[in-house]
C-alpha cells in the first residue's frame, strides 16, 4: 500500500493525469474562451487578452506546484510563486476582495520557502523536535485562523454564512500547511490532508462533483507525499 501511494506521488504519469484533471474541469466550467473585456473596461486591448486561457493554465501550474512539492523538488515553490501572482491578478480583476488581501502573505511564505529550501539538503526534509513543531503548530494555527476570519469577513461584507466559515477553515489550513512547507517540514502534509477533506466536503455540499474528483486526487496525493517525506527523514 505504502509503495503504491509513493508511486502515485512521484510518477510523471500521475503528474500528467493531475494536470489533465484540473485543466479539464476548468475547461468544462466554460472559462476557456473568456476574454478580459468581460470584466473590466480598460480599453479595446482587453478584448485580446485570453483571461480564460490564462486561468486554465494557472490551475495546471497549481497542480504541478503541489506535485513537485510532494516529490521534494524546489521547483514546486517557484511554480507556487507564479501561481500566486496569476491568481492574485485574476482575483483582482474579478473583484474578489478577500482573496486579494491574502496573496501578499502567500507570496511572502513562498519567498521564505525558496530561501529555506535552498539552504537545506536536497531530497531531505528538515528536522525539528516534536515539542517545537507542536508549539509552532499552535502558533501558526491561531494566527492563520484569525487572519483567515478577518479576510473572509471583509470579503463577505460581514455576512458570514456556512459557506463563509467553511472557506475560512480551508484557507487557514492552507496557510498553516504553507508555513510548514516554508520550513520544509513533513508536518505540512497532515494539514494538506485535512484541507483537502474540507474542500471535498465543500464541493459535495455545493454539488460541484467535478471538484469532488479533483480533491479526491489531492487527498491521495497528500498521503503519497507524506510517505515520501517521512522516508526522507530516515
pLDDT tens-digit map of 6-32: 888 889 999 999 999 998 988 888 878
Contact 10, 225 (CB under 8 A): no
**Global confidence as pTM:** 0.90
3: pLDDT strictly greater than 90: no
pLDDT per position as a tens digit, 55-74: 999 999 999 999 999 999 99
Give residue-wise pLDDT tens across range 168-187. Answer: 999 999 999 999 999 999 99
pLDDT value at position 197? 95
- The CA–CA distances, whole Å, from 169 to 54, 119, 175, 191 equal 28, 32, 10, 11
Q: What percent of the chain has pLDDT over 70?
A: 99
Question: Does the pLDDT of residue 210 top 80, yes or no?
Answer: no
pLDDT, position 229: 96
**pLDDT for res 27:** 86
Residue where the block lists cell 520557502: 113
- Quick one: pLDDT at residue 163? 81
pLDDT of residue 57: 92
3-state SS, residue 123 = coil
Predicted pLDDT of residue 171: 92
- Rg for the chain (alpha carbons), in Å? 18
Q: Indicate if the alpha-carbon torsion angle 145, 148, 154, 156 is positive or negative.
A: negative
Q: Rounded distance, CA 76 to CA 66, Å?
A: 6
**Mean predicted confidence (pLDDT) in 133-154:** 93
Q: 210, 29 in Cβ contact below 8 A?
A: yes
Amino acid at each position: 500500500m505504502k509503495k503504491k501511494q509513493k508511486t502515485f506521488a512521484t510518477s510523471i504519469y500521475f503528474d500528467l493525469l493531475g494536470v489533465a484533471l484540473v485543466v479539464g474541469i476548468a475547461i468544462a466550467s466554460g472559462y476557456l474562451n473568456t476574454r478580459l473585456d468581460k470584466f473590466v473596461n480598460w480599453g479595446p486591448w482587453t478584448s485580446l487578452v485570453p483571461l480564460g486561457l490564462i486561468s486554465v493554465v494557472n490551475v495546471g501550474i497549481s497542480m504541478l506546484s503541489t506535485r513537485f512539492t510532494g516529490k521534494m523538488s524546489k521547483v514546486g515553490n517557484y511554480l507556487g510563486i507564479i501561481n500566486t501572482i496569476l491568481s492574485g491578478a485574476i482575483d483582482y480583476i474579478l473583484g474578489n476582495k478577500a482573496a486579494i488581501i491574502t496573496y501578499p502573505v502567500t507570496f511572502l511564505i513562498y519567498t521564505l520557502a525558496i530561501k529555506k529550501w535552498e539552504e537545506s539538503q536536497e531530497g531531505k526534509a528538515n528536522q525539528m523536535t516534536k515539542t517545537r513543531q507542536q508549539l509552532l503548530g499552535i502558533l501558526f494555527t491561531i494566527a492563520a485562523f484569525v487572519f483567515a476570519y478577518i479576510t473572509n469577513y471583509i470579503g463577505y461584507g460581514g455576512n458570514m454564512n456556512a459557506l463563509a466559515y467553511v472557506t475560512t477553515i480551508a484557507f487557514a489550513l492552507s496557510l498553516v500547511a504553507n508555513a510548514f512547507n516554508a520550513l520544509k517540514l513533513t508536518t505540512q502534509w497532515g494539514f494538506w490532508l485535512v484541507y483537502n477533506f474540507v474542500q471535498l466536503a465543500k464541493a459535495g455540499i455545493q454539488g460541484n462533483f467535478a471538484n469532488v474528483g479533483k480533491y479526491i486526487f489531492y487527498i491521495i496525493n497528500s498521503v503519497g507525499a507524506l510517505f515520501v517525506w517521512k522516508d526522507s527523514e530516515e
